Amino acid sequence: MTDRKASLSIEGNEQPIELNVRSGTLGQDVIEIAPLLSNNYFTFDPGFATTAPCESEITYIDGANGVLLHRGYPIEQLAANSDYLETCYLLLNGELPDDKTKTEFENIIRMHTMVNRSLENFFSGFRHDAHPMAMLCGVVGAMSSFYHDSMDITDPTHRLITAHRLIAKMPTLAAMCHKHYVGQPYMYPDNSLSYAENFLHMMFGTPCEDKEINPVLAKAMDLIFLLHADHEQNASTSTVRLAGSSGANPFSCIAAGIAALWGPAHGGANQAVIEMLEQIGDEKNIDEYVKRAKDKDDPFRLMGFGHRVYKNFDPRAKVMKKTCDEVLSELGLEDDRLLKIAKRLEKIALEDDYFVEKKLYPNVDFYSGIIMKAIGIPTEMFTAIFATGRTVGWISHWNEMISNPYRIGRPRQLYKGHKQRDYPAKK
């Protein structure tokens, strides 16, 4: 549709307020509401379910039809034909790289996988059982104290080197969180390995012996990073954009995104799914938990189900489910107890009127935890892995915002507090 006009008539106002309606390449049109302010109105949209705070060319989601495109490419096709680093290049630059460019990009990332030795001192300050997301949030924020050579956010070359450093170093830092948690020595990156192989090497290798990396698990790990790479203006990406709108340095913005992702309603759901399946414990208990999930007075929710945007299946969950079957069969775990509970729970939920009416389908987190558990990744590391995969999405959105004209984000409110009143006179 072409851009067109809307007219808002409000009872008691003589004149309607004229608003512009704009169309994107795909998806919903938007109504530009700036004229409301000069007419002394705000819009009211708790949870920003109906608010588009920006233009973007990076990712498109059609929630009604379960469509997810990264720079126009469907997630199913990227999952089948691409890999995580190629998808990183696509998200950052807008086009798929040719073979030469892809090799150059892989080499650039490879040259930035080590972190400054001083960062190890940050980890020694954490309790041994600190949650990996607490550690990751701290050390990524601290990275802004190391790169004084590239902190001019108006310089595209500084923004690019920062993106490369973050993509390259997140697996190293995430693995260091795990090593600190289990009290083992940190493993340095091995640049002869692929991105996902390197992560598994740093997670499970020890200086005492080389750890054989199963290629099926490495491919599943790469796919988990790829499926988590970006997802439009979700809570953590919106947090990164809002932090970036003040001109804050990119490492602090990514640390803010990590903090927002940690919540169980968002990236913390993958850990919560496993904890829920463990809590259900046996298929015979599923009906009781589904009943609780439907009870308004019971705070229990089926973790890994539902989505703000997808009111159909989450296309990532379909790919994740297929990978889950492949990984568990490779490991001879087809009869995995949690997988059996998960599959039965999914079947029951998808046939239950409550979930059908509310369009609650499994989301990206429902099966990812089972795969990561099968790979041997501890549950507390799941969200740190989500953050590692999502870093490219966060920094791509940050870069898109900073590369174009932007203003500091400053939402308003519907004030429901006291009218002005005077301080009581001293007795």
Query: Counting contacts by CB under 6 A, is residue 360 touching ligand SDX?
Result: yes
CB of 207 to ligand SDX, least distance (A): 36
Kindly state the smallest distance separating residue 250's Cβ from ligand SDX, in Å.
Answer: 19
- Asked if 164 interacts with ligand SDX (CB under 6 A), we say no
By the rule CB under 6 A, 382 interacts with ligand SDX? no
Distance CA 399, CA 411 (A): 22
Q: Are 45 and 57 in contact (CB under 8 A)?
A: no
Contact status: 292 vs ligand SDX (CB under 6 A): no
**For residue 424, how many other CB atoms are within 10 A of its CB?**
6
Enclosing H/E stretch for 324: helix 315-330
Residue window 249-288: x/- pattern of binding to ligand SDX, with contact defined by CB under 6 A: ----------------xxx-x-------------------
Q: Encoding tokens for residue 303?
A: 């973790």
Helical segments of 143-268, H only: 156-182, 195-204, 215-227, 235-244, 250-261
What mask of x and - would describe binding to ligand SDX in positions 44 to 83, judged by CB under 6 A? ---x------------------------------------
Minimal distance in Å, beta carbon 295 to ligand SDX? 9
User: Is position 291 an interface residue for ligand SDX (rule: CB under 6 A)?
Assistant: no
Q: What does residue 110 show for φ and ψ, rounded to 5 degrees?
A: -60, -35
**Closest distance to ligand SDX from the beta carbon of 334 (Å):** 25
Q: Which of 131, 164, 178, 307 is catalytic?
A: 307
| Nearest residue to ligand SDX on Cβ basis | 306
Place of tokens 């790829």: 226
The token duo for 114 is 């080590």
Nearer to ligand SDX, 171 or 268 (CB): 268
Per CB under 6 A, the segment of 171-179, 205-213, 296-304, 418-426 that binds ligand SDX is 296-304
190: annotated active-site residue: no
Active site residue 307: yes
Taking CB under 6 A as the binding criterion, the range among 190-198, 305-313, 367-375, 405-413 that sits at the site for ligand SDX is: 305-313
How far from the centroid of its chain's Cα atoms is residue 78's Cα?
17
Q: CB under 6 A: which stretch of 103-111, 182-190, 307-315, 394-402 binds ligand SDX?
A: 307-315
Q: Minimum CB separation from ligand SDX for residue 255, in Å?
A: 17
Beta bridge partners of 81: none
Q: How far is the CB of 363 from ligand SDX (least distance, A)?
A: 4
Nearer to ligand SDX, 3 or 45 (CB): 45
Q: Strands 67-70, 73-74: parallel, antiparallel or unpaired by DSSP?
A: antiparallel
Is residue 379 within 8 A of residue 365, CB to CB? The reply is no
Secondary element (H or E) of residue 296: none
Among 22, 158, 301, 343, contact with ligand SDX (rule: CB under 6 A):
301
| Inter-residue contact 388 to 175 (CB < 8 Å) | no
Kindly determine how many residues on this chain lie close enough to bind ligand SDX according to the rule CB under 6 A: 22
Alpha carbons 213 and 195: distance in angstroms, whole number = 12
For ligand SDX, the closer CB: 181 or 366:
366
Cα distance between residue 403 and residue 140, in whole Å: 22
Comparing CA positions, the residue from 258, 276, 268 lying closest to residue 387 is: 258
Distance in Å, CB of 268 to ligand SDX, minimum? 8
Task: State the sign of the Cα–Cα–Cα–Cα dihedral 191, 251, 259, 231.
Answer: negative
Residues in contact with ligand SDX, shown as a per-residue x/- string from 206 to 245 under the rule CB under 6 A: -------------------------x--x-----------
DSSP state, 64? T
Going edge to edge, which strands form the sheet with 59-62? Answer: 59-62, 67-70, 73-74
364 touching ligand SDX, by CB under 6 A: yes
Active-site annotation holds for 155:
no
Question: What 3-state class would DSSP assign to 79?
Answer: helix
Ramachandran assignment for 376, one of left (phi > 0), alpha (psi -120 to 50 degrees), beta (any other): left
What single letter denotes the amino acid at residue 141?
A: G
Which of 65, 358, 403, 411 is in the footprint of ligand SDX by CB under 6 A?
Answer: 358
Which residues bind to ligand SDX, rule: CB under 6 A? 47, 231, 234, 265-267, 269, 293, 301-309, 358, 360, 363-365
- Residues with catalytic function: 266, 307, 365
